[in-house]
Amino acid sequence: MNLSGKTFWITGAASGMGKSLAIELSKFASLLILTDRDTDGLDKTASVVSANGVKVRKEVLDMSDSEAIVSVSRRILDDGIRIDGLYQFAGISQRSLVLDTPVENDRKIMEINFFGVITLVKAVLPSMIANGGGQIAVTSSMVGKFGFPYRSAYSASKHALHGFFESLLAENSKNNILVSVLIPGRVQTNISKYALDRDGKEYGKMDPGQANGISAEKAARQIVRGLQREKKEIPVGGSELLMVQIRRFFPALYYKLATRIKPV
C-alpha cells in the first residue's frame, strides 16, 4: 500500500506504539485523525506530528464507551473525511490469576480490547467500502496466539480479534479492504503499568521483559513496513516472537515453558 497523501485514523495515539506510529506516518500522510482518552497525551502527539507539516484532527475518545465511538465516527464522516487507514492501538492488559480475577475485570478488558475495537470498525467500514477500499490494522499480541499466565482475559480478547478480523477479511477482500493484525511481543510501552490487577486497580509496574523490549519507535517502523507490504499478520518485536513458532510447531515445549512463568 502506498501511504503517501492518505488520511489515517489512529486510536491510542497519546502514547506508546500509537503515538510512535502517528509520528512515523506523519512523514507520509496528508491528515491524521488521533484519538485517545488521555487529553494531555493527545495534545502532545498532535503537537509533534503537526510540526512535521501534516494536518491533524484530534478527538478525545474512550474505547469502553460504544456510544461515544459511534458519535465521534459519525461526526468525522459527516465532515466528508475519507479514511484510508484505520489503525487501532487502544487497549488494556491485566496481571492476575484466573482464580483471583472477578468477572467484572474480564468484562472490562473485553469491552475495551474487543467490543470497542469492532464497534469502531463497524462504524467506519461502510464508508471505506463506498470509497473503494481501505486498510484496517488492529493490535493483537503475542499472547493473542497462545494462552499465557496472568493474562487470561487479555489473551482471550486478543484471540477474539484474530477470529473477527480474519472473518472480516474473508468477507471484504472483494471490496478492496486490507486487514493487518499486529502481533507485538515486548515493546517499551506503559501497557503493563496500566494493566488491571486482581482488584481492578492499576498494576503500576513495567514488566522486566517489557522494559528490555524494543522501543515504541522501532516498533512503529516495523509496523509501517508491514502495512506497506499489506501483510496480514505483522510481528512486532525481537527474539521473543520465537515463542509463537514454538507454540505452533512444538506445543509440548510451549506448555512446559508456560508453566514455569514466575508469579507476578
pLDDT tens per residue across span 159-180:
999 999 999 999 999 999 999 9
Query: Domain 7-258 belongs to what architecture?
Result: 3-Layer(aba) Sandwich (3.40)
As a whole number of angstroms, the distance between CA 146 and CA 128 comes to 32
Cβ-count burial 75-112 (b if 16+ within 10 Å, e if not): ebeeeeeebbbbbbbbbbbbbbeeeebeeebbebbbbb
Active site residues: 154
Residue-wise pLDDT tens digits, 126-144: 999 999 999 999 999 999 9
Look at residue 232 in the predicted model and tell me its pLDDT. 98
Look at residue 210 in the predicted model and tell me its pLDDT. 85
Mean pLDDT (whole number) for 215-227:
98
Q: Which three cell numbers stand for residue 104?
A: 467484572
Q: Over pLDDT 90: what percentage of the chain?
A: 94
Mean pLDDT (whole number) for 119-128:
98
Look at residue 144 in the predicted model and tell me its pLDDT. 97
As a whole number of angstroms, the distance between CA 65 and CA 174 comes to 31
Look at residue 199 in the predicted model and tell me its pLDDT. 96
Domain ranges of the chain: 7-258
Asked whether the predicted pLDDT for residue 24 surpasses 90, the reply is yes
Mean pLDDT (whole number) for 44-51:
97
Look at residue 84 in the predicted model and tell me its pLDDT. 98
Asked whether the predicted pLDDT for residue 264 surpasses 70, the reply is no
Taking alpha carbons only, the member of 214, 200, 232, 35 closest to residue 107 is 200
Q: How confident is the model at residue 209 (pLDDT cuts 50, 70, 90)?
A: confident
Residue-wise pLDDT tens digits, 53-108: 999 999 999 999 999 999 999 999 999 999 999 999 999 999 999 999 999 999 99
Q: Over pLDDT 70: what percentage of the chain?
A: 99
Look at residue 261 in the predicted model and tell me its pLDDT. 85
Look at residue 208 in the predicted model and tell me its pLDDT. 86
Look at residue 7 in the predicted model and tell me its pLDDT. 98
Half-sphere exposure of 137 (CA within 13 A, CB side): 33
Asked whether the predicted pLDDT for residue 14 surpasses 90, the reply is yes
